[in-house]
Amino acid sequence: MAKLDEQALHREMTAWRHDLHTHPEFGFEEKRTAAFVAEKLREFGLEVAEGIGGTGVVGTLTRGSGNRAIALRADMDALRIAEQGTMDYRSQTPGTMHACGHDGHTSMLLGAAKLLANEGGFDGTVRFIFQPAEEWGRGALAMLDDGLLERFPFEEIFGLHNMPGLPIGHFETRVGPIMSAEDNFEIVLKGVGGHAARPHAGQETLVAACALVVNLQTIVSRRLSPADIGVVSVTELITDGTRNALPGLARILGDARSFRPEVSAAIESEMRCIAEGTAQAYNVAADVTYTREFVPLVNDAGLVDEAFVAARSVLAHDAVGVAAEPMTGSEDFARFLAHVPGCFVFLGNGASAPLHNPSYDFNDEGLLHGARFHAAVARRRLAAG
């Protein structure tokens, strides 16, 4: 099999990435992106299935006679953020941009598919999973519900994410919990609004809401064990009041992060208790809605070791390290790990803007590192001979 010119591949991957960045699509709307991915995979000679879980794509590549299969996964969706970048390939879709680097992740996995299709070096089957709707935690479940594991079976799965602040060419992961669960909550306070000059005549909700926002901060500081990691963040406070009218309705929205189901359950229980008690103190009613959007991402210990070996085979030895602590961000990749063991890793994006920032851009210098890592994992886990 012909060995690829990696510099030519890097130029090609950069062009793919810029095209995808110019045409971002939100979750379950990735029709152009999915068609782009499917076309490239067919060019490389892979078997391709489209429409998995809505807009997901699965490419299959088999070499040799091995009966094992592994999966490599990338996410394709963009965010509802208006881009502030000035580059030539900036988003042409108003209010939507690739602010998390999924354009880079997709391009890296396409690069790995081309590498493996051309050069081989493994014995078995690699599934290339291009997932929709990662950002709002629905795409992995959609693909699983559409029979992903039954139609395209695999024994283990690997994924990666770029990391701003980590130098280009550097790699990190860790055993066990590495990314948190995300729970969403909405607390609705109901009272009786009225004239701003006569607060005593009703049961306005704004002061109660302000008190509740402060009281919620005691969940982590006073009601969870210091040994447990937890975050409770209020992100919105909305009322039906106006400048001279006190509100009769207030909505408090936010999210909570944790790494263990027991901690998530404790946060919900304490939140309901605090909301009810605060509402009673201010003579208003409270209704709490609490949902679990993402589950914790827990890496398999054995596959973490394998990922480290694969990373050291394609990156500088001193650029491969253990992540110092789990992240309280969340990742839909975790849903796959309820069914098969896997490992999720971080690759450096250099000194870029933060993820989910309107000035963020994926660093093209990292593309070849990601493609090489994906290919190295496949070759190690499906070792020929």
Q: Which domains does the chain have, with CATH numbers?
A: 6-178+296-381 (3.40.630.10), 181-294 (3.30.70.360)
State the pLDDT confidence band at 341, using cuts at 50, 70 and 90.
Answer: very high
> 301: which 2 tokens?
């210990």
**pLDDT over threshold 80, residue 209:** yes
Sheet containing 181-190: give its strands across.
230-239, 249-258, 181-190, 285-294
> What is the predicted pLDDT for the residue at 319?
98
pLDDT at 56: 98
Report yes or no: 289 and 176 within 8 Å, Cβ to Cβ.
no
**Nearest Cα to Cα of residue 376 among 308, 302, 304, 311:** 311
pLDDT above 90: percentage of residues in the chain: 98
pLDDT tens digits, one per residue of 41-92: 999 999 999 999 999 999 999 999 999 999 999 999 999 999 998 999 999 9
Chain segment 28-40, per-residue pLDDT in tens: 999 999 999 999 9
Mean pLDDT of 230-252: 97
Q: Check whether 385 has a pLDDT greater than 80.
A: no
Quick one: pLDDT at residue 384? Answer: 82
- Assess whether pLDDT exceeds 90 at residue 269: yes
Whether 131 contacts 33, CB under 8 Å: no
Task: For 287-339, write each residue's pLDDT tens digit.
Answer: 999 999 999 999 999 999 999 999 999 999 999 999 988 999 999 999 999 99
H or E element that contains 95 = none
pLDDT for residue 372 is more than 90:
yes
Q: Would the CA dihedral through 324, 330, 332, 338 be positive or negative?
A: positive
Pairing status of strand 181-190 against strand 285-294:
antiparallel
Global pTM reads 0.93
For residues 248 and 205, give the distance between their C-alpha atoms in angstroms, rounded to a whole number. Answer: 6
